[in-house]
Amino acid sequence: MGISRRTLQRFVALCLIAGALPFVPQSSPPVAQAAGLPPLGVVIRGHGNGHGRGMSQYGALGWATKLGATWETILNFYYGGSGRLLTTLTDVDARSIPAGGMTVRLQTMDGKQTAVVSDNLTASWAGKSQNYGALVARMVSKNVYDVYASPTATCAADKDSPSGFTLIGDNVKGPIDFVTTASGIPTAVAPADLIGLCEPATSSYKARIRYYRGLIRATPDGNGNKRTVNLVATESYIRGVVPRESPAGWGDIAGGLGMHALRAQAVAARSYSLSESRYSWAKTCDTQDCQVYLGAALRTVGSKTVSLLEDARTDRAIAETANYVMKDSNNTIVRTEFTSSNGGRTASGQFLAQIDNGDLIADAALQSWTRLVSAASIQAKYPSIGVFLSATTVHDGLGGDWNGYTTSVVITGTAGSVTRTGWQFRGDFDLYAPWYEVFPVDAPDPAAAPVGSILLVGDSVSEMIADEFAKVVTPAYPLMNYQACAGRGMAGADCLFTVAPPQLDLDGVGVVNTSATPAIAIVALGYNDDPNVYEAEVQQMMAALTAKGIQRIIFVNMSTRATSRNYAKANAALLTAAANPAVTVLDWNAASSAPNQWRWFDNTSLCCWVHLSTSGQTEFALFLRQQLDAMRAQGLLPVTAAAVAVLPGLPLRKTNQGVMVTTVQKKLNTLLGLKGVKKLSTDGQYGSGTSRAVKTFQTQVALPVTGIVDRATWDALGLAGRTDLAILKSGSRHPSVRSIQQALAKVLKKKIAKSDSFSSSLTNDVKTFQKRAGLKASGRVGPSTWAALMAAAALS
């Protein structure tokens, strides 16, 4: 929606009034008086994903594909010793296994009615001869059910006497079993031959039908609560387990060597399931509390698209290891626990604690991880401690980083302490594994120099670390204006999605042009920019920053792990900008380029190797805090923002042209006493002669010798406060012209080609804006028109 002329004129009037006064920055926060301030929180660094006991699934993959181990060797490594061995089931074992095989609690259905369908209309109530399209068992009292049937394969509504269903069993004692004519046959085809269980819709997904081998039972638990159980042959059951626990695609790795990892998983799943005895009414469950089991197939109600949940490769691994289990010295089947990754060392307990070279070489994403927990979160979890002061860990002493898995954590505060086991602390903060160490995040040094206001301009990478940044960086640098949104580019690319105030839906240059002048600007942009034009965009950003007199400019470079664009070329443009003494480039690329630091990046999303993992979010925030602290210690972070007017058209360098260049040439001739052949031509063309003269002048006045007219050089030339000379008009050539073009395109709702050249057509567009805004229609852009235009663009 456009801005009305009256609104624009009122807004411009306010801008001009504000622009007539020097910007008064916020004062720095008071320096803390007391040393030894409580930490801001803790950084937790850990290894592994899961409890770490028994077989590491990624470790099995590493052993198989990189170390050449067979499935037998893998199983004996993780579960062998103390008389345990790999063997086959005997007739005695078979007699001890229930005739129905596994009985699996389907936890999604806890407390819900048991409703089933059959796509081929062969569902029946076990023991009855009649076939139906759908059946439902509704508990009317403890272990007493009404059973309804329908000729069509339709999930019954969760209510008494569901529409389209007929009562076929009244007050029947349970349990109630439903089957299809083929659901117990191992070769039954999913989903047509199998029994389909109706799963109600949740906030995460629509109503679904999940297909199972075997039969579906409605039964109460020991307290009379509604439960649904799948009775299924053991080998059919683990067909639904193995591909959920270890990806079937592993079987294709290293020319098929990954099949050994799948075979090891099949034996571990079989042994674990046969050793289970969770409930009186079911042997095991279907979640990671037991083993993940999702049945044979799945489809959304109303859709014909079916997702098959079994896989030929895992089926093959199961068949090739049929009847194999791990047993102990008492000939008892071992409860073969397994974990995603143990981080490179198995946990102690039933099985031997040992370094796991398979897991180390597999290099899983969560083999190492980082988590940030704020002091506020710790205090909320343990309110009796008062203000959090420290966390001290004890480890098992069995080897590995930090001397092993964490056995206990003492959390101390001003009012007392709390002791948690390593496992409890893991659960308290949802850590990936119980192998970790805790490190404090220091509060700001009370003796550190004060720092002025900071504007951070970032894209989705900065947006995703907003929480970590607020915990780690902002407390040390509280005068922070944090502007970050997905899709933002240095110049030309606004936010991809709608943002709410105080966030600005503008590109990076637009944010700088419309924000209050800070002492320091941090620019973390570039992933959304074309590296081939990035240098010009950086110059445009430098023009915006210099025009506002921002004293310290900090760019954050980009990781070059992503190969979709030439980010090395973009980083080179930032190094060019760093020739300006007011510019610092923070080398995130180098800080995140070590081989094991790939885990800091998300390589599965749309922005492959750009977006950050949970660990990467913490590491990036810590990196920014450490870099700012280092700059603060070096005295590179100014205390206050410069109280100066905006001067569009700075800095001036080679290839620029216009009246501002003419002004500089005239000043140089006078101040350097240039005469005759040495006298600069006042033609407004910033060439080599002008650059050499600027360097000579900078040397004389003890400024950094760059050959570029920045704000300090402009002021030293005796031009401080001469806002009337900061003019861009027809014939000017400067990166700031691009900002004018972009702003006018937004305000006037028209396409305007971007370039550094101020054309005659741009002059007409400026006049149009000036007329609408109630300004003198000169076609020139000085500080007043610049301020009004940038403010109007921010509202467009």
Cβ–Cβ contacts within 10 Å for residue 663, how many?
Answer: 22
What is the model's pLDDT at position 9? 53
Q: Both 118 and 182 in a single domain?
A: yes
Q: Both 476 and 517 in a single domain?
A: yes
What is the model's pLDDT at position 314? 98
Q: Both 60 and 127 in a single domain?
A: no
Structure tokens at 39: 């930490």
What is the model's pLDDT at position 642? 81
Structure tokens at 203: 């906030």
- Note whether 180 and 194 are within 8 A (CB): yes
pLDDT bin (cut points 50, 70, 90) of residue 3 is low
Q: Based on the structure, what is the number of domains in the chain?
A: 5
Helix H or strand E encompassing 390: strand 388-395
Q: Both 109 and 87 in a single domain?
A: no
Q: Both 468 and 556 in a single domain?
A: yes
In a domain, 648, yes or no: no
* Rounded mean pLDDT, 629-647: 91
In a domain, 164, yes or no: yes
Residue ending a domain, among 187, 214, 232, is 232
Distance CA 551, CA 644 (A): 11
- Weakest mean pLDDT among 230-239, 368-377, 380-389, 491-500: 491-500
In a domain, 343, yes or no: no
Residue ending a domain, among 205, 232, 259, is 232
Question: How do strand 114-117 and strand 195-199 relate by DSSP bridges?
Answer: antiparallel
Q: Both 45 and 117 in a single domain?
A: no
Q: Counting beta carbons within 10 angstroms of the beta carbon of residue 664, is it exposed (0 to 12), middle (13 to 18) or buried (19 or more)? A: buried
Structure tokens at 785: 């028109």
Q: Is the pLDDT of residue 1 over 50?
A: no
What is the model's pLDDT at position 771? 96
Q: Both 482 and 575 in a single domain?
A: yes
Residue 494 phi, psi dihedral angles, 5° rounding: -85, -175
Residues across the chain: 796
Distance CA 302, CA 353 (A): 50
User: 583-610: b or e for each residue (b if 16 or more CB lie within 10 Å)?
Assistant: bbbbebbebbeeeebbbbbbeeeebebb
CB-based contacts of 722: which residues, under 8 Å, 6+ apart?
A: none
What is the model's pLDDT at position 32? 30
* Rounded mean pLDDT, 113-133: 95
The CATH number of the domain where 607 resides is what? 3.40.50.1110
The alpha carbon torsion through 493, 494, 497, 498 (nearest 10 deg) reads -170
- Weakest mean pLDDT among 414-418, 509-513, 560-564, 742-746: 560-564
Distance of CA 733 to the CA centre of its chain: 41
pLDDT tens digits for range 568-604 = 999 999 999 999 999 999 999 999 999 999 999 998 7
Domain that holds residue 790: 659-795
Q: Both 470 and 517 in a single domain?
A: yes
Q: Is the pLDDT of residue 415 over 50?
A: yes
Neighbouring-strand partners of residue 56: 339
pLDDT tens digits for range 334-390 = 999 999 999 999 999 999 999 999 999 999 999 999 999 999 999 999 999 999 999
Q: Both 477 and 620 in a single domain?
A: yes
- Note whether 18 and 514 are within 8 A (CB): no
Residue 234 phi, psi dihedral angles, 5° rounding: -55, -45
Cβ–Cβ contacts within 10 Å for residue 401, how many?
Answer: 16
Q: Both 472 and 594 in a single domain?
A: yes
Residue ending a domain, among 214, 232, 250, is 232
- Sign, CA torsion 249/250/252/256: negative
Q: Is the pLDDT of residue 149 over 50?
A: yes
Q: Both 582 and 731 in a single domain?
A: no
Q: How far is CA 139 from CA 248, 283, 451, 561, 714, in A?
A: 39, 22, 68, 57, 85
Rg (CA), the chain: 35
Q: Helix and strand tally (H, E) in the chain?
A: 23, 29
**SS3 of 155-212:** CCCCCCCCCCCEEEEEEEECCEEEEECCCCCCCCCCCCCCEEEEECCCCCCCCEEEEE
Residue ranges of alpha helices (H) inside 386-521 are 422-428, 460-464, 466-472, 508-514
pLDDT tens digits for range 48-104 = 999 999 999 999 999 999 999 999 999 999 999 899 999 998 877 766 665 558 999
Residue 398 phi, psi dihedral angles, 5° rounding: -105, 15
Q: Both 403 and 330 in a single domain?
A: no
